């Protein structure tokens, strides 16, 4: 490719995001609140403002013949690669959009810019290659065989094989809860609660493929679209009226990205909504004598800022006997990110843990011994950070809290 | 075989239609640009400039020619710069337009969509978004009351002087209203004197506060680059040169500038420190102020100050998307 042809391809970026680059006043509200560029480590080039400036600088250099003649090819190439790195050193948590006085949609901005990195041959980064290959070859990012995907469900009688049996509710388990031994408890807990509520749901088992969230966050939109189409076809085949998922990333993807990619809407609920409704209706038998515990709730970015699901998890917690919720100073829209999203954990585990530690500091400051969340990925990362800090705080998924407070099964 | 020929023909026709559509959009966009450029130039040329500012000082007619040339030049640069920025936006995706479509088509479609969305049943909602979020910058107020206040001073000062400039041109040059030209006329006292003083002072105070924050207090969130310094300095120079011009005219007691000090209170304060000059020197200072102001207008699309236009537009577009849910 000649030098003139080598340009940032901005065609995947929505025009409104490019307009937002000019709307940015560089006030820096996003920069100080950016979990990776402002809080964990102070690196301007990683902050939203830094990235916007970099894109504009590169664009100006490419478009202006004088600037291009003055800048060496290596320099421009280095600028592009540094931009790509900065774009991937981001959890796409959406804190910048929340902090922005203009409320610019930065989530769409970063995701589409990553897509632009892919079409420009600059992304995803080397560190992400194995992840992408695994999703392509195994249908999950953990290089696990699909035959093992539904293994956890074997002991649950209320979990049906939706490919063979007609079900009203399809439980889309997601990759992490299907394979990660630490997180598989989320799926088991949900099955236990639904059993107690007398609800039978179906799963796709070995036919369930990754939702495509990881690919989308990495900018691999084309590959994610194929997964989305295949998953929608599977959902349709089961005839289920509702898809339920316990993973915040899967939920966001199915709710927001599938319609954007395929033009089709899937009726999807996050488990927090389903459980809150079941508990509220009295379908879930809760123990009357439960040990008192104070908990704090961590809003996962995909469930909070991305999809605005702040109330359902709090409704569950408020209805559980003996559970007192104390809010961290930064909760709901202002909740700090756990550091795991957007492919950052794969790219730079150390940086992701620094972000997670900040969140654990928030939890420690409020003095709650238990931190509850509703995203398997947040749970995994925050639990790791908690262990690193001496395990003073126990990190659990919200389903765990419900299971602990289920009424003991009545003898016949 | 026949089917194949028919299919090819259909494809050809479709391609032809697409071509026509693209050509139509491209022509439409560039025609609109041309119309804007011609209209702006004509409007400037049509202003009689009989009495504007220096007319009363008896300055050489050549100054007015320089003024008109500068006005046309800066307006053309501004419009072309704005257009260039809009074309950069159009490198991206526009909902309802196929990938790879020419930028002019995207601009035509998105302009139609934007206007269609604003002038719809939701007009009042969009108006609320425009005034609440773009003009009053409510969210900034929630973040910091002080910053909101000083930003509002700059924004309203800027908008106010712009509006008063238009009103003055209409009143003085087109209508040649005595109210605007009579030293004790209502338009002269309240608009040309007091109005400009208030909005100019708002700008000055807002800029001073922004400068103290950026250069003295230097909060961690601010990163100051050349563009930031240039933008603030440029605005400062425009406003200060305006007050200096007024101060000089008052100190010199030039005809047409004998305003009561109560109405031109900032100019009067500047006059205390400024020398008395001849009408010719005054006209030269006036031209310098005009040149700085026009250079500033031309600079806007190429600087961070372009947010003056891009931010309200972006807020409006985000508002439309949120209302519609899920488009690009």
CB A91 within 8 A of CB A301: yes
CB A186 within 8 A of CB A81: no
CA A83 from centre of chain: 23
- B226 in contact with chain A, both atoms CB, cutoff 8 A: no
Chain A positions with Cβ closer than 8 Å to B: 10-20, 22-29, 31-32, 44, 49, 59, 63, 100-105, 112, 256, 259-260
The closest CB to that of A16, out of B143, B222, B328, belongs to: B328
Torsion of CA B103, B107, B108, B113, to 10 degrees: 140
The pLDDT assigned to B327 comes to 44
Torsion of CA A42, A217, A344, B321, to 10 degrees: 30
Mean pLDDT along residues B64-69:
87
The pLDDT assigned to A7 comes to 83
**If DSSP codes are grouped into helix, strand and coil, which group holds residue A276?**
helix
A17 with B92: Cβ contact below 8 A:
yes
B91 with A11: Cβ contact below 8 A:
yes
The CA R_g of chain B, rounded to the nearest whole Å, is: 24
CB A286 within 8 A of CB A316: no
Interface test with B, best of A11, A54, A102, A116 (most B CBs within 10 A): A102
The per-residue pLDDT for range B214-241, each reduced to its tens digit, is 999 999 999 999 999 999 999 999 999 9
When the pLDDT of each residue in chain B is averaged and rounded to a whole number, the result is 86
Q: Which residue of A has its CA nearest to B327?
A: A260
- B318 in contact with chain A, both atoms CB, cutoff 8 A: yes
pLDDT exceeds 60 at position B55: no
Half-sphere exposure of A40 (CA within 13 A, CB side): 27
**If DSSP codes are grouped into helix, strand and coil, which group holds residue A311?**
helix
Determine the Cα–Cα distance for residues A388 and A360; give it in Å rounded to an integer: 10
Top-confidence residue, B248 or A288:
B248
The number of distinct structural domains making up chain B is: 1
Interface of B with A in 143-182 (CB under 8 A): 143
Paired tokens of A338: 């756990």
Chain A: nearest CA to B65, how far in angstroms? Answer: 33
Structural domains of chain A sorted by starting position, each given as residue range(s) with its CATH number in brackets: 15-123 (no CATH), 128-276 (3.40.50.1860), 285-404 (3.40.50.1860)
Size of interface A-B (CB pairs under 8 A): 105
Distances (CA, A) of B133 to A100, B313, B318: 12, 11, 11
**If DSSP codes are grouped into helix, strand and coil, which group holds residue A174?**
coil
Which residue range is the domain that position B49 belongs to? 2-324
Residue B16: pLDDT band (50, 70, 90) is confident
Angle, alpha carbons A294-A299-A301 (nearest 5°): 165
Chain B: nearest CA to A14, how far in angstroms? Answer: 4
The per-residue pLDDT for range B288-315, each reduced to its tens digit, is 999 999 999 999 999 999 999 999 999 9
Q: Which residue of B has its CA nearest to A59?
A: B88
**If DSSP codes are grouped into helix, strand and coil, which group holds residue A301?**
coil
The pLDDT assigned to B52 comes to 53
Judged by phi (left if over 0) then psi (alpha if -120 to 50, else beta), residue A50 lies in: alpha
The pLDDT assigned to B243 comes to 94
Q: What is the DSSP string of B211-235?
A: HIIIIII--TT----HHHHHHHHHH
Determine the Cα–Cα distance for residues A235 and A151; give it in Å rounded to an integer: 20
Which chain B positions have a beta carbon within 8 Å of A25's beta carbon? 304, 307, 311
Instruction: Tell me which of A34-48, A324-338, B93-107, B187-201 is least confident.
Output: B93-107
Mark the ranges of chain A whose per-residue pLDDT is less than 70: 1-5, 410-412
Residue B12: pLDDT band (50, 70, 90) is low
The per-residue pLDDT for range B111-130, each reduced to its tens digit, is 998 999 888 888 898 899 88
**If DSSP codes are grouped into helix, strand and coil, which group holds residue A317?**
helix
Chain B: nearest CA to A15, how far in angstroms? Answer: 4
Q: What is the pTM of this model?
A: 0.90
Q: With both helix axes pointing from N to C terminus, report the angle between A15-23 and A106-119 in degrees, rounded to the nearest 10.
A: 120
**If DSSP codes are grouped into helix, strand and coil, which group holds residue A48?**
helix
The pLDDT assigned to B56 comes to 54
The CA R_g of chain A, rounded to the nearest whole Å, is: 22
The per-residue pLDDT for range B154-176, each reduced to its tens digit, is 999 999 999 999 898 888 888 88
The pLDDT assigned to B328 comes to 42
The per-residue pLDDT for range A321-367, each reduced to its tens digit, is 999 999 999 999 999 999 999 999 999 999 999 999 999 999 999 99
Query: Given strand A293-298, what is the order of strands in its sheet?
Result: A323-325, A293-298, A370-373, A394-397
Determine the Cα–Cα distance for residues B327 and B310; give it in Å rounded to an integer: 19
Q: Which helix (H) or strand (E) holds A294?
A: strand A293-298
Helix %, strand %, coil % of chain B (to 5): 80, 0, 20
The pLDDT assigned to A409 comes to 73
Top-confidence residue, A19 or B60:
A19
Paired tokens of A173: 């388990």
CB A18 within 8 A of CB A52: no
Determine the Cα–Cα distance for residues A397 and A185; give it in Å rounded to an integer: 9
Residues 6+ apart with CB under 8 A from B122: B323
Paired tokens of A94: 């959406």
The pLDDT assigned to B217 comes to 93
Which chain B positions have a beta carbon within 8 Å of A26's beta carbon? 223, 228, 304
Determine the Cα–Cα distance for residues B277 and B326; give it in Å rounded to an integer: 63
Question: H helices of A64-105, where?
Answer: 65-70, 73-88, 95-99
Which chain A positions have a beta carbon within 8 Å of B220's beta carbon? 28, 32
The closest CB to that of B318, out of A101, A103, A259, belongs to: A103
Exposed / middle / buried, residue A243 (Cβ in 10 Å: 0-12, 13-18, 19+): buried
CB B200 within 8 A of CB B247: no
Q: What are the phi and psi torsion angles at A316 (to 5°)?
A: -60, -55
Half-sphere exposure of A355 (CA within 13 A, CB side): 29
Percent of chain B with pLDDT over 70: 89
CA B51 from centre of chain: 24
CB A140 within 8 A of CB A134: yes
Instruction: Tell me which of B109-113, B122-126, B198-202, B320-324 is least confident.
Output: B320-324
Residue of A377, A362, A363, A246 whose CA lies nearest to A294:
A363
């Amino acid at each position: 490719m000649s030098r003139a042809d080598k340009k940032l391809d901005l065609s995947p970026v929505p025009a409104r995001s490019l307009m937002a680059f000019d709307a940015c006043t560089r006030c820096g509200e996003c920069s100080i609140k950016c979990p990776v560029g402002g809080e964990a480590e102070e690196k301007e080039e990683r902050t939203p403002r830094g990235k916007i400036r970099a894109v504009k600088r590169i664009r100006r250099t490419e478009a202006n013949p004088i600037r291009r003649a003055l800048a060496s090819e290596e320099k421009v190439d280095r600028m592009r690669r540094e931009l790509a790195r900065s774009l991937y050193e981001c959890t796409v948590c959406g804190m910048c959009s929340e902090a922005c006085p203009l409320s610019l949609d930065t989530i769409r901005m970063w995701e589409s810019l990553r897509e632009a990195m892919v079409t420009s041959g600059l992304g995803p980064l080397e560190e992400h290659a194995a992840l992408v290959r695994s999703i392509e070859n195994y249908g999950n990012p953990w290089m696990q065989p699909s035959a093992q995907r539904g293994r956890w469900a074997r002991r649950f009688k209320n979990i049906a094989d939706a490919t063979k049996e007609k079900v009203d509710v399809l439980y889309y388990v997601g990759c992490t809860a299907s394979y990660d031994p630490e997180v598989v408890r989320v799926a088991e807990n949900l099955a236990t609660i639904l059993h107690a509520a007398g609800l039978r749901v179906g799963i796709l088992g070995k036919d369930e493929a990754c939702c495509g969230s990881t690919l989308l966050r990495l900018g691999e939109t084309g590959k994610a679209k194929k997964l989305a189409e295949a998953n929608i076809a599977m959902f349709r085949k089961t005839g289920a009226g509702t898809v339920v998922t316990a993973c915040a990333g899967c939920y966001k993807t199915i709710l927001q990205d599938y319609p954007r990619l395929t033009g089709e809407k899937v009726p999807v609920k996050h488990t927090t909504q389903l459980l809150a409704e079941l508990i509220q209706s009295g379908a879930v038998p809760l123990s009357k004598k439960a040990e008192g515990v104070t908990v704090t709730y961590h809003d996962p970015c995909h469930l909070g800022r991305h999809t605005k699901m702040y109330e359902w998890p709090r409704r569950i917690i408020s209805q559980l006997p003996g559970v007192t919720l104390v809010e961290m100073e930064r909760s709901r829209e202002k909740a700090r990110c756990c550091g795991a999203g957007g492919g950052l954990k794969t790219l730079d585990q150390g940086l992701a843990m620094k972000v997670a530690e900040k969140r654990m500091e928030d939890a420690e400051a409020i003095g709650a011994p238990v931190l509850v969340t509703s995203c398997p990925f947040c749970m995994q990362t925050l639990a790791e950070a908690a262990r690193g800090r001496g395990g003073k705080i126990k990190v659990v998924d919200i389903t765990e809290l419900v299971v602990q407070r289920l009424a003991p099964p009545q003898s016949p | 075989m026949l089917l194949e020929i028919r299919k090819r023909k259909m494809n050809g026709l479709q391609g032809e239609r697409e071509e026509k559509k693209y050509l139509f959009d491209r022509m439409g966009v560039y025609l609109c640009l041309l119309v804007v450029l011609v209209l702006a130039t004509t409007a400037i040329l049509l202003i009689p400039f009989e009495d504007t500012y220096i007319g009363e000082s008896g300055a050489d007619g050549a100054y007015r020619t320089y003024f008109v040339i500068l006005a046309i030049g800066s307006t053309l640069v501004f419009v072309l710069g704005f257009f260039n920025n809009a074309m950069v936006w159009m490198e991206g995706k526009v909902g309802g337009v196929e990938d790879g479509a020419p930028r002019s088509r995207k601009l035509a479609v998105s302009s139609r969509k934007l206007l269609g969305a604003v002038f719809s049943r939701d007009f009042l909602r969009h108006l609320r978004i425009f005034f609440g979020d773009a003009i009053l910058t409510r969210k900034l107020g929630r973040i910091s009351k002080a910053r909101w206040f000083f930003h509002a001073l700059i924004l309203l000062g800027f908008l106010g002087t712009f509006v008063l400039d238009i009103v003055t041109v209409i009143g003085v040059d087109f209508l040649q209203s005595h109210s605007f030209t009579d030293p004790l006329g209502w338009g002269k006292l309240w608009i040309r004197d007091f109005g400009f003083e208030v909005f100019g002072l708002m700008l000055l105070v807002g800029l001073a506060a922004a400068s103290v924050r950026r250069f003295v207090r230097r909060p961690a969130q601010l990163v100051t680059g050349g563009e930031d310094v240039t933008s603030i300095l440029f605005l400062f120079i425009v406003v200060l040169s305006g007050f200096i011009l007024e101060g000089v005219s008052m100190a010199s007691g030039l005809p047409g500038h004998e305003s009561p000090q109560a109405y031109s209170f900032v100019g009067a304060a500047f006059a205390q420190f400024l020398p008395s000059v001849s009408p010719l020197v005054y006209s030269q200072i006036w031209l310098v102020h005009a040149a700085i102001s026009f250079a500033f207008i031309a600079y806007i699309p190429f600087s961070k100050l372009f947010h003056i236009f891009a931010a309200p537009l972006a807020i409006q577009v985000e508002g439309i998307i949120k209302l519609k849910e899920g488009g690009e």
